[in-house]
C-alpha cells in the first residue's frame, strides 16, 4: 500500500515530517487532528507508520493525535452496519492504519467517529453519543455536545491538512450543525420551530442544509491570517485552529447568509427565522 518511490525525489523521512508539523505551528502537548493523503508526499520511508510516529513525536505523549475514522462509502447504511471495532475507516489508508494500532482508541458513532492516541484520547473518544444532540443531515449525535468534534473545538485543537485542501475539513460540518442549532434556537414560537425543524435535512431524509463552498471560506481564512503553511516532499501542509476556524466562519455565515448558501436555505430562513 505504500507509494512507489519516484526517482526524481529524495525519500521523505520522519524528521522531515516532524519539521513540517513544527513549521505549521504544532507544539508539544497540542491536540492535533490530521487529514491527509499519503501519496502526496512522494516516497515516505516506512510509509504510514512513519507519518503516525512523526505526529506523535510532534505533540509528545502529553499531547494527543486524532485522525478521522469516518464511514462514508456506504453512508446510507452506516447506522445499520456500524461496528466500532470492525467498521473500517474509509477516508484514507493512514486513518485505517492508525485506527487499528493497539494504543489507539475510537469513538462510538456510525458516521463521524475519530481515533485518538495520547493524553486526551480517552476524553475525546468517550461518550460520543451520550448527550446534547444537534439535528442534522448526518444524524443527530455525530456532532453532539458530547462528540469528539465539540471536545476538540473546546480544546482549541490544531487541524493539519497534508496534501489535501480544506474541502476535506470535517469541522466544516460541525460549524454547519452549530449554525442550524443557532437558527432554530432563535425561533421563539414553539409551533413555528417544530415546522422549521421538519424542513431540516436528516440522515437519509432530504431537506434544507447550509452546505457551503469550502474553497471560498479557505480564501477568506487565508486573508484573515488564520492559515499557516509548510511543505514536505511534494505535500503541502495547511494548518488552522479548530476554534478559530469555527468562530470565524460562523460569524461570516450569521452576518450574511445570503452570500454563502443556496436558495432553499435562504427561503427557509425567510419563512421561519428572519
Closest CA to 40 of 97, 92, 99: 92
pLDDT above 60: residue 197: yes
Bridge partners of residue 119, in order along the sequence: none
* Bridge partners of residue 20, in order along the sequence: none
pLDDT single digits (tens) 175-192: 999 999 999 999 999 999
Residues 47, 43: Cα–Cα separation, whole Å: 8
Could you tell me what percent of the chain has a pLDDT over 90? 93
Higher per-residue confidence, 8 vs 254: 254
Q: What is the mean pLDDT of residues 72-76?
A: 90
* DSSP one-letter code for 11: P
Local confidence band at 9 (pLDDT 50, 70, 90 cut-offs): low
Which strand (E) or helix (H) includes residue 209?
none
Contact 44, 261 (CB under 8 A): no
Give the dihedral of Cα atoms 35, 162, 104, 113; nearest 10 deg.
0
Q: Is the dihedral of CA 171, 176, 178, 179 positive or negative?
A: positive
Mean pLDDT in residue range 75-84: 95
- The average pLDDT across 40-54 equals 97
Mean pLDDT taken over the chain: 95
Please give the distance of CA 134 from its chain centroid, rounded to a whole number: 16
Question: Rounded CA gap, 75 and 259, in Å?
Answer: 29
Q: How far is CA 178 from CA 183, 236, 249, in A?
A: 9, 29, 11
Amino acid at each position: 500500500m505504500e507509494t512507489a518511490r519516484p526517482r526524481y525525489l529524495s525519500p521523505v523521512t520522519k524528521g522531515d515530517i516532524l519539521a513540517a508539523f513544527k513549521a505549521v505551528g504544532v507544539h508539544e502537548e497540542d491536540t492535533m487532528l490530521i487529514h491527509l493523503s499519503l501519496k502526496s508526499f512522494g516516497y515516505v520511508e516506512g510509509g504510514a507508520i512513519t507519518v503516525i510516529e512523526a505526529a506523535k513525536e510532534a505533540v509528545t505523549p502529553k499531547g494527543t493525535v486524532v485522525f478521522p475514522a469516518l464511514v462514508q462509502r456506504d453512508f446510507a447504511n452506516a447506522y445499520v452496519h456500524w461496528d466500532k471495532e470492525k467498521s473500517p475507516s474509509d477516508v484514507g489508508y493512514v486513518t485505517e492504519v492508525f485506527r487499528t494500532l493497539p494504543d489507539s482508541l475510537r469513538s462510538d458513532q456510525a458516521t463521524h467517529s475519530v481515533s485518538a492516541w495520547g493524553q486526551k484520547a480517552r476524553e475525546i473518544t468517550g461518550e460520543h453519543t451520550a448527550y446534547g444532540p444537534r439535528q442534522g443531515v448526518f444524524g443527530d449525535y455525530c456532532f453532539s455536545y458530547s462528540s469528539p468534534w465539540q471536545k476538540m473545538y473546546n480544546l482549541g485543537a490544531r487541524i493539519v491538512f497534508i496534501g489535501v485542501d480544506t474541502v476535506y475539513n470535517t469541522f466544516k460540518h460541525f460549524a454547519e450543525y452549530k449554525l442550524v442549532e443557532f437558527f432554530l434556537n432563535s425561533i421563539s414560537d414553539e409551533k413555528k420551530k417544530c415546522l422549521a425543524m421538519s424542513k431540516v435535512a436528516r440522515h437519509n431524509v432530504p431537506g434544507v442544509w447550509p452546505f457551503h463552498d469550502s474553497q471560498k471560506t479557505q480564501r477568506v481564512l487565508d486573508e484573515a491570517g488564520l492559515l499557516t503553511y509548510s511543505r514536505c516532499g511534494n505535500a503541502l501542509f495547511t494548518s488552522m485552529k479548530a476554534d478559530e476556524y469555527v468562530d470565524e466562519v460562523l460569524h461570516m455565515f450569521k452576518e450574511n447568509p445570503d452570500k454563502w448558501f443556496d436558495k432553499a436555505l435562504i427561503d427557509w430562513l425567510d419563512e421561519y427565522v428572519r
